[in-house]
Amino acid sequence: MAAELTIGEFSRISRLSVKTLRHYHEWGVLEPAAVDPHSGYRYYATEQVPTAQTIRRFRDLEMPIEQVKAVLAAPDPASREAFIAAHLERMEQQLARTQEAVASLRGLLEGRGLTPQITYVEIPPQTALAITATIDRDGIEDWWRGAFAELYAAKATVAGPPSGFYAHELFEDEAGEATVYLPVDPLTEDPRATILPSRRLATLRHDGPHTDLDLAYGALGTHVAERGVGAPGPVHERYVVSVLDDAAPADWVTEIGWPIAGDP
């Protein structure tokens, strides 16, 4: 009972444009039931309509084509479900970020100016378990979580909040070196323990989600630049309260530090 349909007919029934159907053929997401080897004409079967509708919905959800292909190729319903669940979770995260951005934008436009409480500190040499990597800016969150999971898995006596430092290139060029560390008891026997050198920093405490961290960096960087006290080197972050404590973003407390030289 399967009717062979030309691309135009299948387009009308599936509501995917002819261009889109050709594109899906090229990418192997939706192959025509038959292709005339002489004319190149594509022929579709009515049985392919539900597949087309499914693809359309995944694309409405902005799932990348390659992934749609993978989901459709998934043999069992369970792994399909896993794909979809993962995608929905990403979408929820994005929604949360959007809501944060809206709130933050309102604050900015209302000129909700924080008077930054900037403190100069000298951090003494510290014994710490550290992980360093060269990463991409968009891969940073996954890497960050993984690295701290690894550090907390070590059985050393923790001697301070989780922290990290990040090369400027990471923000200027979208990729650069990052280090996260956990201060530990100097007497630890973990062979991975290193001693971090001392640093002089201008620091600022930031309350709230990390979407707004740029505001803190703006205030701190402006302060340092206008006084001409900046020094080369990575910026520092101390995660006083964070996801690592299972806290909500609104409750996070982060201390950021900008390297300085000279006497303030």
Separation between Cα atoms, residue 204 and residue 53, nearest integer Å: 52
CB of 242 to a copy of itself, least distance (A): 19
Choose one: 24-32, 88-96, 147-155, 239-247; the region binding a copy of itself (CB under 8 A): 88-96
Six-digit token string for 206: 């930031």
Separation between Cα atoms, residue 145 and residue 244, nearest integer Å: 8
- Per partner kind, with CB cut-offs from 5 to 8 A, the member of DNA, a copy of itself, none near residue 92 is none
CB of 6 to DNA, least distance (A): 3
59 binding DNA? (CB under 7 A): yes
CB of 88 to DNA, least distance (A): 17
23 binding a copy of itself? (CB under 8 A): no
Q: Reduce the secondary structure of 9-61 to three states and give it as a string.
A: HHHHHHCCCHHHHHHHHHCCCCCCCEECCCCCCEEEEHHHHHHHHHHHHHHHC
Q: In what order do the strands lie in the sheet with 42-45?
A: 4-6, 42-45, 34-35
Site for a copy of itself, rule CB under 8 A: 1-3, 5, 8-9, 11-15, 17-19, 46, 49-50, 52-54, 56-58, 60-61, 77, 80, 84, 88, 91, 95, 97-98, 101-102, 104-105, 108-109, 168, 171-174, 211, 213-215, 217-218, 221-222, 225-226, 228, 230, 235
